[in-house]
Amino acid sequence: KKMTLINMYPTMLERFIRYAKINTRSDLKSTTIPTTKSQWEFLEMLRSELVEYGFTKVELDPEDSYLVALLPSNLEEGSAVPAIGFIAHVDTADFNAENINPQIHENYNGEDVVLHPEKNLVMTVSEFPSLKNYIGETLITTDGTTLLGADDKAGLVSVLEACLYLMAHPEIPHGDIWLAFGPDEEIGKGAHRFKAERMPAKFAYTLDSGVVGKLEYETFNAARAVVTIHGTSVHPGQAKDVMVNALAEAAKLFARMPEEEVPERTSGYEGYFMLSKQSGDIGKVELEYIIRDHSMEKFEERKAQFQQIVDAQNATYDVPHIECTIYDEYYNMYEILKDDMTSVEVAIAAYKECGITPDIQPFRGGTDGCIITYKGIPTPNLFTGAENLHGQYEFVTLESMQKASDVVLKIIELVQRKTVE
């Protein structure tokens, strides 16, 4: 069975290693599109490869920096099989991505993994017990000094390898298959720019979740509160009844927040407030809070509650010292998907036909699919197989990526089969 899978995707391992070695880290502070030159160069390389492989309508748009391509239908003209899409992001997270050196551990034995002998960097089974789930597989890790970039190059590779399999087997019937590879997902900018009309699919999937079996179609609604506290900085010797210590006022604001409604004390469908960033001094403090809830009603209530807390503290001063701007970042895709669950139902059926038990839980985060769903293309999130994302202990196995490719192929098959039936 293992050899059959490997033969289906003969270039998968080489491709993943090659892509992973390329630094495509995004940059939140940058104002360019994409936010780093390396992402554009990677997308240009991908564009050349897709053209070489024989994809059509291969276009890299400088305005949204999405690379879009089509694997055309091989059915008779006028077929009712709908076009579907698969999406992955090319950027990696905010962690060292210079000189990425993937390590391949064939036939992994289930023991501690030495990442870097000279630096004594070890990924232990005691700290990461899920390693035991991959005994006998081809484990791919970092060398302990960088991230791996399986988020989301594992997803990208799995999509591409599945399509290459279809191209090598033209006898397999399928409708139009659209691919979209985009930048700046990790900093929440890429999908907002995406021109959804460039990918005329009835529905699509991002491959951007974790372990095999993950399937996400309920996400948070998300907002960010940007807060500035203006203090009055004077010499402490003359501070009585004059100084307003912005640092102390920031602490008071934090103390006003619901103590139990924070990420570390919530789970499932429970929402929260989180202080995510703070900097400044006595004269001025800048803060960012994130606001999350699955329920749209509760989400709106949370935003109003946050503003009320700010207003209540401002009311304790002779003149307001706090400025607050709250803006929405993304919404729960389920609010759209619940009206037509076809994309979800097809994914669940594909998992089961591939022998994979769907692990469906409310996702305590968001994906590019949230934004793209609200642009008119329902887009649930599939697994990549990667674990320990965004850090030095990130890993994925070849077999997990193969399973992701299997699911992509099965989804394509089911869409064609169910339409014909």
- Catalytic residues, by residue number, are 91, 185
| Cα distances (angstroms) measured from residue 172 to each of 3, 74, 154 | 21, 8, 24
What is the CB neighbour count within 10 angstroms for residue 255? Answer: 9
| Cα distances (angstroms) measured from residue 332 to each of 48, 294, 337, 364 | 35, 6, 9, 10
Helix, strand, or coil (residue 114): strand
Distance between CA 246 and CA 239 in Å, rounded?
Answer: 13
The identity of residue 299, as a single letter, is: F
Category of 218 on φ-ψ map: left (φ > 0), alpha (ψ -120 to 50) or beta: beta
Instruction: Report the b/e string of 326-364 with b at 16+ CB within 10 A.
Output: beebbbbbbbbbeeeeebbebbbbbbeebebeeebebbb
Distance between CA 401 and CA 379 in Å, rounded?
Answer: 20
Torsion sign, CA atoms 26, 29, 30, 31:
positive
